[in-house]
């Protein structure tokens, strides 16, 4: 059954896709329990739970980008239509918005100002997590000022492994454990301000850099998006979550290419993903990472289909999506309790956490991380791997 199915007629967003309309027309399938060693739990009917989440707009989107204040009305309309009560807006450089590589890490100050203004205008619907340039000597002062202006978190692209045509990192000018970054981490840990920290653990040195930061500041609250970019290496994700108690994960896959492959990956390895969610019921958060812009306007059906795919992935046994029209997919069939955790409770807990004197009780097993420790000095950033020549 489709969660966010809409009538195939011309519509006025505020009417046809209002929350009361959706609540009236959206039937929900029976939801099965979690996979366990003793076999699947009996099927559970989560329709009332999901209907309530949509009606009350309880869903929290922990990871989204927006071009600017001009997109406020569109984003609010989509949130209302899809049952999203709150969206975390992360600061974005112009490359993220435009996909124009030469733009690089620019115009982020303007985007920070925009998301802060949106959060002030709609404090119950938006949170602002601005970003900073790691090479900016005034980054700590900027973050403190933006916290005073209403920021409730920080987005860091340091650790993002995208390389330019010249095979240079756009987002990783220094190591994550560069001495110049340490005062910022110390402030955020002490103030209990979380980081959305995009990290590609497969790049040379990146995982070691990130681990050193988490060890140095164990009270730091961190959301690593996209399953810590480890949805193909569950042992790595499990090892990191076991070791670092204040490390959380959002389930966004990002761009359509990654989303499509992610849905297929979950479908093919359903029991392993079920086990992962069951083992860490309080550590996964809902996120979409759609990137809402005026440059590439998207109709309601675009948002509906992708949001529905995420919800189907989490809660159904089998589903189909227009994203992969010829491919039946298997969903996780998570319990109502786990669905509520992922869709809003875990984010609320994450923000409310005030870690003090957190102890790292276990040593990392690097064999489970599936990445060899790099021979690098503390604070040293390694270059990107050489590209293969054809």
Mean residue pLDDT of the chain comes to 88
Give the pLDDT confidence score for residue 387 in this predicted structure.
73
The two tokens of residue 171 are 């987002």
Give the pLDDT confidence score for residue 47 in this predicted structure.
54
For the stretch 162-194, pLDDT in tens is: 999 999 999 999 999 999 999 999 999 999 999
Average pLDDT value for residue range 312-333:
93
Give the pLDDT confidence score for residue 373 in this predicted structure.
81
Give the pLDDT confidence score for residue 21 in this predicted structure.
33
Q: How many C-beta neighbours within 10 Å does residue 16 have?
A: 16
Q: pLDDT band at 297, cuts 50/70/90? A: confident
Q: pLDDT band at 388, cuts 50/70/90? A: low
Q: pLDDT band at 22, cuts 50/70/90? A: very low
Q: Name, in order, each residue with C-beta under 8 angstroms of 25's C-beta and a sequence gap of 6 or more.
A: 5, 7
Angle, CA of 45, 324 and 260, to the nearest 5°: 90
SS3 127: strand
Average pLDDT value for residue range 305-310:
94
Q: How far apart are CA 333 and CA 318, in angstroms?
A: 8
For the stretch 236-265, pLDDT in tens is: 999 999 999 999 999 999 999 999 999 999
Write down the H helix ranges in 63-181: 72-82, 94-98, 108-121, 139-148
User: For residues 88 and 28, is the Cβ–Cβ distance under 8 A?
Assistant: no
Give the pLDDT confidence score for residue 28 in this predicted structure.
33
Q: List beta partners, residue 136.
A: none
CATH pick for 16-369 out of 3.40.50.300, 2.102.10.10, 3.20.20.140, 3.40.50.150: 3.20.20.140
Q: pLDDT band at 303, cuts 50/70/90? A: very high
For the stretch 109-156, pLDDT in tens is: 999 999 999 999 999 999 999 999 999 999 999 999 999 999 999 999
Burial label, 162 (beta-carbon count in 10 A; 0-12, 13-18, 19+)? middle
The dihedral sign for the CA sequence 77, 82, 84, 88: negative
Q: pLDDT band at 6, cuts 50/70/90? A: very low
Helical packing angle, 270-279 and 234-243, nearest 10°: 0
Task: Give the residue, 19 or 124, on which the prediction is more confident.
Answer: 124
Of 43, 86, 80, 82, the residue nearest 61 (C-alpha): 86
Q: How many CA atoms lie within 13 A of 7 on its CB side?
A: 13
Q: How far apart are CA 212 and CA 273, in angstroms?
A: 27
Q: DSSP class of residue 63?
A: E
Give the pLDDT confidence score for residue 306 in this predicted structure.
96
Asked whether the predicted pLDDT for residue 234 surpasses 80, the reply is yes
Give the pLDDT confidence score for residue 386 in this predicted structure.
84
Give the pLDDT confidence score for residue 25 in this predicted structure.
31
Q: How far apart are CA 257 and CA 151, in angstroms?
A: 31
Asked whether the predicted pLDDT for residue 230 surpasses 50, the reply is yes
User: For residues 119 and 127, is the Cβ–Cβ distance under 8 A?
Assistant: yes
Average pLDDT value for residue range 215-239:
97
Q: How far apart are CA 73 and CA 306, in angstroms?
A: 19
User: For residues 336 and 49, is the Cβ–Cβ distance under 8 A?
Assistant: yes
Q: Name, in order, each residue with C-beta under 8 angstroms of 27's C-beta and a sequence gap of 6 or more.
A: 1, 47
Q: pLDDT band at 26, cuts 50/70/90? A: very low
The two tokens of residue 119 are 């959060």
User: For residues 308 and 4, is the Cβ–Cβ distance under 8 A?
Assistant: yes
Give the pLDDT confidence score for residue 158 in this predicted structure.
95
Give the pLDDT confidence score for residue 52 in this predicted structure.
80
Helix H or strand E segment including 261: helix 256-268
Give the pLDDT confidence score for residue 269 in this predicted structure.
96
Average pLDDT value for residue range 51-78:
93
Q: List beta partners, residue 214.
A: none
SS3 161: coil
Give the pLDDT confidence score for residue 48 in this predicted structure.
65
Average pLDDT value for residue range 44-52:
63
CA torsion angle 60 276 254 368 (round to 10): 140
SS3 129: strand
Asked whether the predicted pLDDT for residue 360 surpasses 90, the reply is yes
Q: List beta partners, residue 245.
A: none
Lowest-pLDDT range, 1-15, 108-122, 250-264, 312-326? 1-15
Give the pLDDT confidence score for residue 27 in this predicted structure.
33
Give the pLDDT confidence score for residue 63 in this predicted structure.
98
The two tokens of residue 302 are 């675009």
Domain ranges of the chain: 16-369
Give the pLDDT confidence score for residue 9 in this predicted structure.
30
């Amino acid at each position: 059954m489709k969660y966010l199915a809409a009538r195939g007629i011309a519509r006025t967003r505020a009417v046809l896709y209002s929350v009361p309309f959706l609540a009236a027309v959206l039937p929900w399938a029976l939801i099965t329990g979690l996979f366990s060693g003793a076999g699947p739990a009996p099927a559970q009917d989560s329709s009332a739970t999901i209907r309530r989440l949509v009606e009350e707009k309880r869903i929290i989107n922990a990871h989204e980008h927006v071009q600017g204040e001009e997109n406020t009305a569109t984003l609010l309309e989509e949130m209302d239509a899809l049952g999203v009560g709150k969206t975390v807006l992360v600061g974005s450089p112009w490359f993220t918005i435009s996909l124009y590589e030469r733009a690089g890490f620019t115009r982020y100050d303007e985007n920070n100002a925009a998301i802060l203004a949106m959060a002030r205008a709609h404090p119950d619907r938006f949170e602002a997590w601005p970003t900073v340039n790691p090479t900016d000597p005034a980054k700590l002062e900027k973050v403190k000022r933006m916290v005073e202006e209403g920021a409730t978190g920080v987005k860091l692209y340091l650790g993002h492994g995208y390389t330019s045509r010249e095979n240079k990192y756009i987002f990783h000018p220094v190591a994550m454990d560069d001495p110049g970054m340490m005062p910022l981490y110390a402030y955020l840990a002490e103030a209990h301000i979380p980081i959305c920290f995009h990290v590609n653990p497969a790049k040379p040195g990146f995982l070691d850099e990130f681990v050193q930061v988490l060890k140095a500041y164990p009270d730091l609250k961190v959301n690593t998006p996209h399953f810590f970019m480890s949805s193909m290496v569950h042992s790595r994700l499990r090892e990191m979550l076991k070791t670092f108690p204040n490390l959380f994960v959002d389930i966004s896959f990002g761009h359509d290419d990654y989303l499509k492959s992610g849905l297929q990956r979950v479908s093919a390895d359903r029991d392993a993903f079920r086990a992962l969610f069951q083992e860490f019921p309080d550590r996964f958060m809902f996120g979409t990472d759609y990137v809402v812009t005026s440059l590439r306007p998207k109709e309601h059906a675009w948002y509906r289909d992708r949001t529905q795919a995420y919800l189907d992935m989490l809660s159904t046994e089998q589903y189909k999506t227009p994203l992969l029209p010829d491919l039946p997919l298997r969903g996780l069939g998570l319990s109502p309790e786990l669905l509520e955790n992922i869709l809003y409770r875990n984010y609320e807990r994450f923000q409310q956490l005030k870690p003090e004197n957190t102890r790292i009780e276990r040593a990392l097993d690097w064999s489970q991380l599936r990445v060899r420790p790099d021979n690098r000095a503390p604070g040293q950033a390694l270059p990107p791997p050489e590209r293969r020549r054809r």
